[in-house]
Amino acid sequence: MLAKRIIPCLDVKNGRVVKGINFVGLRDAGDPIEQGKWYAENGADEITFLDITASLESRGTLLRMVERVADTIFIPFTVGGGVRSADDFRDLLRAGADKASINTAAVDHPEIITECAEKFGSQCVVVAIDAKFESDGKFRVYTHGGRRPTARDAIAWAREVEHSGAGEILLTSIDRDGTHNGYHLELTRAIADAVNIPVIASGGAGELAHFYDALQIADAVLAASLFHDRVMSIHQVKDYLAQRSLPIRTRSPHPLGEG
């Protein structure tokens, strides 16, 4: 059975991790390779790297980082942040990313989704949607890292990105992000019901039950500080979810005999 995925997210700036695992066991906490490898070996089903640099000059640095990550880990990883064009997207894939995510550029120029899907296949096109609950009772799409409101309704936008060729939606609740109060289930359900592509819920994980609740609806969950600050481990989350009968890729014997 297809397993529900647990995805840690690492923020990187100028090729260095600025929000990642925070403990003395790592030689260099800023090294994306060391961080990625640690998560790959500790239960992550995928890893997302989010580049928050947002400057053109740092693009080369990011690509070199992606190459090094691709040469180090043997599970899939996604890179997001600062993708402005199909060329940017291609560069990330060529450097070794399995998927790339588009956010602001997709809102500004939705045709970029179709262009990337046609050129590289829907399977690697992730559209990130940052949504916020508004007083009119709707979920509004925000861009620029959740700072700038757009005219778009999140549910209509989710349908449009699926129609345009997106293979997956990374859905972040701006209301819940950083609160540890749980994923926004109403938002997640509204989007998951609207589309037939996988939805990754993001924003708000704080305790074990939050993962279970979100994964009743979503295909995957993303979490950052909870794992980085070692409030709980991915294995702990997975053991809990498996006990509650969700399909989960739990710890398996190491066929290479390295474990």
Partner 1 sequence: MIAIIDYGMSNLRSVRHAFEYLGADARIIDSPAAIKNAAALVLPGDGAFGPAMENLRNCGWLEPLESAIRGGLPFLGICLGMQLLFETSDEMGAHRGLGILPGSVKRFPATAGKIPQIGWNQLNVRESSKFLAGIPDGAYTYFVHSYYCHPDDPTIVAATTDYGIRYASVAEQDNVWGAQFHPEKSGDTGLKMLMNFLAID
Residues catalogued as catalytic: 11, 130
Among 5, 140, 152, 210, binds partner 1 (CB under 8 A): 5
Q: Is 5 or 184 the residue whose CB approaches partner 1 more closely?
A: 5
Q: Is 3 or 231 the residue whose CB approaches partner 1 more closely?
A: 3
Question: Is residue 207 at the binding interface for partner 1, with CB under 8 A as the rule?
Answer: no
What is the residue whose two structure tokens read 């926004």?
Answer: 184
**DSSP states of 235-259 as a string?**
HHHHHHHHHTT--B------TTS--
How does 83-95 read in b/e, with b if 16+ C-beta sit within 10 Å? beebebbebbbeb
Question: Is residue 177 at the binding interface for partner 1, with CB under 8 A as the rule?
Answer: no
- The distance of Cα 60 from the centroid of its chain, to the nearest Å, equals 22
Q: What's the closest the beta carbon of residue 178 comes to partner 1, in angstroms?
A: 26
Please, what is the Cα angle at 163 between 160 and 167, to 5 degrees? 105
Region of 49-57, 120-128, 145-153, 226-234 interacting with partner 1 (CB under 8 A) = 120-128
Q: Which helix (H) or strand (E) holds 47?
A: strand 47-51
Which residue ranges make up the site for partner 1 (CB under 8 A)?
Answer: 1-3, 5, 40, 45, 67, 70-71, 74-76, 93-96, 98, 120-124, 167-168, 196-198, 219-220, 249, 252-256, 258-259
